[in-house]
Chain A
Amino acid sequence: MIEATIATLIIAVTLAITFIIGVLAYRLRIKVLRVDTYMVAGRALGFIVTFLNMAAVIYSGFAFLGASGWAYAYGAPVLYIWIYGALAYTFAFFFAPRIWETAKGQGLLTQADFFMWRYGSRLLMVLTALVGITFNIPYGQLQILTTKYVLDLSTYGALPTLHVAVVSFVVVMIYVFLGGMVSVAITNVFLGAIMLAAMLGGGLSLIFYYYGGLPGLFAAVEAASPKHAYLWAAVGRNSVQWVITAAVGCGLGFWVWPQLAQMVFPARDAKVLRRSITMTSWYHVLGILWASLTGLVALGLGMKLAVADHAFLALIRDTFGPVALGFIGAAGMAAALSSAAGIILTQASLLSRNIYQGWIKPGASEKEVILVSRLGIVIFTVISVILAYTAPAYIVYLLLVGYTGITQMFPGWVLGSVWKWITKEGVLAGLIAGLVMGVLTCFIWPDYLGVHSIIWGLMFNLPITLVVSRITYRGG
Chain B
Amino acid sequence: MSRKTVTERKFMVATAVVWFMLSIVLPIINRPNVHIAGIPLLWFWVLIWVFVVPVLLTLAYYMLEVKP
A contact set with B: CB distance below 8 Å: 76, 79, 82-83, 85-87, 89-91, 93-94, 214-216, 218-219, 222, 226, 229-231, 240, 243-244, 247-248, 251, 271, 274-275, 277-278, 281-282, 284-285, 289
Contact A214 B18 (CB under 8 A): no
Contact A240 B28 (CB under 8 A): yes
Q: Hey, which chain B residues are within 8 Å of A214, CB to CB?
A: 38-39
Of A86, A240, A282, the contact of B22 (CB 8 Å cutoff):
A86
The answer to whether A87 and B23 touch (CB under 8 A), given A274-B65, A282-B54, is yes
Contact A218 B50 (CB under 8 A): no
7 nearest A-B pairs in the assembled complex, by CB-CB distance? A215-B38, A281-B54, A86-B53, A278-B57, A90-B15, A282-B54, A86-B50
Contact B57 A251 (CB under 8 A): no
Of B28, B32, B46, B53, the contact of A90 (CB 8 Å cutoff):
B53
Contact B40 A218 (CB under 8 A): yes
Q: How far is the CB of A79 from chain B (nearest CB, A)?
A: 5
Q: How far is the CB of A255 from chain B (nearest CB, A)?
A: 14
Contact A285 B42 (CB under 8 A): no
Q: How far is the CB of B57 from chain A (nearest CB, A)?
A: 4
Query: DSSP majority for the A interface?
Result: helix
Q: CA–CA, A216 to B12, complex, Å?
A: 37
Q: CA–CA, A275 to B42, complex, Å?
A: 30
Q: How far is the CB of B55 from chain A (nearest CB, A)?
A: 9
Chain B, 26-63, CB within 8 A of any chain A CB: 26-28, 30-32, 35, 37-40, 42-43, 46-47, 49-51, 53-54, 56-58, 60-61
Q: CA–CA, A76 to B41, complex, Å?
A: 11
Contact A247 B61 (CB under 8 A): no
Contact A82 B50 (CB under 8 A): yes
The answer to whether A285 and B54 touch (CB under 8 A), given A94-B15, A251-B23, is yes
Contact A90 B39 (CB under 8 A): no
Q: CA–CA, A339 to B64, complex, Å?
A: 31
> How many contacts A-B (CB < 8 Å)?
110
Contact A243 B27 (CB under 8 A): yes
Q: Hey, which chain A residues are within 8 Å of B39, CB to CB?
A: 214-215, 218
Contact A90 B57 (CB under 8 A): yes
Contact B53 A79 (CB under 8 A): no
26 contacts between A and B (CB under 8 A): A76-B42, A76-B43, A82-B47, A83-B26, A83-B46, A83-B50, A86-B49, A87-B19, A87-B23, A90-B19, A90-B57, A218-B40, A226-B32, A229-B42, A231-B27, A240-B27, A240-B30, A247-B22, A251-B19, A251-B23, A274-B65, A278-B54, A278-B57, A281-B53, A282-B54, A282-B58
The answer to whether A278 and B30 touch (CB under 8 A), given A79-B46, A82-B46, is no
Contact B38 A90 (CB under 8 A): no
Q: How far is the CB of B35 from chain A (nearest CB, A)?
A: 8
Q: CA–CA, A82 to B47, complex, Å?
A: 8
- Find the B residue at minimum CB distance from A231: B30
Q: How far is the CB of A331 from chain B (nearest CB, A)?
A: 21
Q: Hey, which chain A residues are within 8 Å of B54, CB to CB?
A: 89, 278, 281-282, 284-285
Residue B1 interfacial (CB < 8 Å): no
Residue B24 interfacial (CB < 8 Å): yes
Q: CA–CA, A251 to B18, complex, Å?
A: 12
Q: How far is the CB of A148 from chain B (nearest CB, A)?
A: 31
Contact B27 A244 (CB under 8 A): yes
Contact B38 A218 (CB under 8 A): yes
- Find the B residue at minimum CB distance from A214: B39
- Find the A residue at minimum CB distance from B65: A271
Q: How far is the CB of B4 from chain A (nearest CB, A)?
A: 12
Q: CA–CA, A76 to B45, complex, Å?
A: 13
Q: Hey, which chain A residues are within 8 Å of B38, CB to CB?
A: 214-216, 218-219
Can you add 9 more A-B contacts, CB < 8 Å, to A240-B30, A285-B54?
Answer: A83-B23, A86-B49, A94-B11, A215-B37, A219-B38, A229-B42, A230-B30, A230-B31, A251-B19
